[in-house]
Structure 1
Amino acid sequence: MKSNNLLYTLMVFALLFISCSSDNSDDVNAANSMADIQEISDLVSNGTWTITNFVDSGSDETANFTGYGFSFNSDGNLVADNGSNTVNGTWSVTDDSGSDDSNDDSSIDDSSDDIDFNIFFASPSNFNELSEDWDIVSRTDSRIELIHVSGGNGGTDNLTFEKN
């Protein structure tokens, strides 16, 4: 009888040990993601930026934004201005790691691949085409490359901003 009790006690302790082990990797990943979000937000909200490449499903539409400077204000407002026209929108940088994104392109191997760079313009139509939840392909202090893979038709959009 004592051997059964001993076996039972050992099993209980083993289960408690296994269930109580902690995995801090989720906490570390969340902290890294928040630091990346803050770093990206600080980067783009400093100065004005120009679109140097915008390819919408294979069609180069960069010329639609020639002469526009983009200001990513820290309050989430996005202003595009070419000296005679001003277009207002919004922007944000968010953590996408918890969502089930069918547009996720796991072939992009970047520490920021779970971070979305969100842009929204209600109008005009050429600016509305920028309204997406973009994935960050690469970034430097003066350049940020973005990609969006459409869930509907599978088309790929590429967008590059360079700091003025």
Structure 2
Amino acid sequence: MKNTIFTITLILVGLIATSCSSDSSDNNLNTAESLQAVTDLALSGTWVISSFIESGTDETDDFTGYVFTFNSDGSLVADNGTMTVSGTWSVTSDDSSDDDDDYDSDDDIDFNIFFAAPPTFEELTEDWDIVSRSASRIELIDISGGNGGTDTLTFEKN
């Protein structure tokens, strides 16, 4: 009886140890694959903002007519035919949990956007969390640490 309990215990310890090490390497691989998949998606064409809600206020109209191009060199261009606004973008792994929330469908991946001007575009400057993504849509969210407001941003393929 003691031998059976001892054997079962050894098997369980072995399974737990094996599953822990396997999960860790799988998570790193999935994060790297997800980073590349999100990057490839953004690079796959031009985009428009179909929704931008800042702390409950719909500001989508501020970006009507602008086409956004995410370039492989990290530059981001918004153009409406008469005005061009330049910024930067990146997709990064953020393995700190300080900005984790229920919306992190792609755990620890940030979709970073930066515009220095004009003020309307500066509102898009955030390290956004990905809510969802498909071949034609990228939904993002940011929960402000300062005032607790929630911003949502949705890009749709042009």
Alignment TM-score > 0.5, same fold: yes
- 8 Å contact from structure 2 (residues 127, 142) kept in 1: yes
Q: Distance in 1 between matches of 2:39 and 2:24?
A: 22
1:140 pairs with one of 122, 134, 144: 134
Q: Distance in 2 between matches of 1:126 and 1:108?
A: 25
2:103 pairs with one of 91, 101, 108: 108
Counterparts of 1:6-155 in structure 2, within 5 Å, are 21=17, 23-96=21-94, 98-101=95-98, 103-105=99-101, 107-108=102-103, 110=105, 112-155=106-149
Task: Provide the TM-score with structure 2 as the length reference.
Answer: 0.85
> How far has the Cα of 1:73 moved from its partner?
0.4
Unaligned runs of 5+ in 2: 1-9
Match of 1:3 in 2: none
Q: Distance in 2 between matches of 1:104 and 1:122?
A: 26
Q: Distance in 2 between matches of 1:143 and 1:75?
A: 22
> How far has the Cα of 1:24 moved from its partner?
2.6
Match of 1:5 in 2: none
Instruction: Give SS of 1:24's match.
Output: helix
- 8 Å contact from structure 2 (residues 52, 59) kept in 1: yes
Task: Provide the TM-score with structure 1 as the length reference.
Answer: 0.82
Number of equivalences: 143
